[in-house]
């Protein structure tokens, strides 16, 4: 199998954060699992990983289109709360409304908005839960039952 981008034939399996930009706003899609070309780093994604990545892109685009003041990853990083993006990405990727996220995570809606905007540092336990749900979205139903 040769890389469709550069023609090299050497891949490594890896899980990497993927940067994605839309209308001048950027985000990261965490932990995109696939085979990465060792020469040019272009990934070859298995179907499930591809679908997950595309869903995250579409969700991000929908949020940008419906939300004028979404913070960029750079803005979040500048506030020192880069981890905030995981709360935002988890909600986008899981397709949760603020109400649903509020019930699921046990914080009121205003607090979740503060976490997502990076104005308040999200608790480490919430960030870890969000990272877990981004990687293993099938666990959402189990978390709901807790």
User: Which spans of this chain sit near Zn ion (rule: CB under 5 A)?
Assistant: 3, 5-6, 8, 37, 39-40, 42
Check if the beta carbon of residue 130 is closer than 8 Å to that of residue 92.
no
Residue 12 or 19 having the CB closest to Zn ion:
12
- For residue 38, the minimal CB distance to Zn ion (Å) is 8
- For residue 47, the minimal CB distance to Zn ion (Å) is 20
Q: Is 79 helix (H, G, I), strand (E, B) or coil?
A: coil
Helices (H), 1-146: 47-66, 73-78, 84-94, 98-105, 109-117, 124-135, 140-145
Residue 10 or 78 having the CB closest to Zn ion:
10
- For residue 11, the minimal CB distance to Zn ion (Å) is 9
- For residue 15, the minimal CB distance to Zn ion (Å) is 18
Tokens of 86: 């995981």
* Phi and psi based region of residue 31 (left: phi greater than 0; alpha: psi -120 to 50; beta: remaining): left
* 138 DSSP 8-state letter: G
Residue 46 or 80 having the CB closest to Zn ion:
46
Q: Biggest alpha carbon distance in the chain?
A: 51
Residue 3 or 92 having the CB closest to Zn ion:
3
């Amino acid at each position: 199998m040769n890389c469709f981008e550069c023609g090299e034939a050497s891949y490594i399996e890896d899980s990497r954060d993927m940067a994605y930009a839309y209308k001048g706003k950027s985000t990261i899609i965490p932990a995109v699992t696939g085979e990465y070309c060792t020469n040019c780093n272009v990934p070859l994604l298995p179907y499930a990983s591809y679908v997950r990545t595309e869903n995250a892109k579409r969700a991000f685009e929908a949020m940008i289109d419906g939300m004028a003041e979404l913070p960029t990853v750079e803005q979040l990083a500048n506030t020192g709360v880069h981890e905030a993006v995981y709360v935002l990405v988890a909600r986008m990727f899981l397709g949760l409304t603020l109400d649903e996220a509020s019930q699921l995570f046990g914080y009121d809606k205003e607090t979740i908005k503060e976490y997502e905007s990076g104005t308040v540092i999200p608790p480490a336990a919430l960030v870890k839960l969000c990272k877990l749900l981004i990687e293993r979205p099938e666990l959402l139903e189990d978390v709901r039952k807790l």
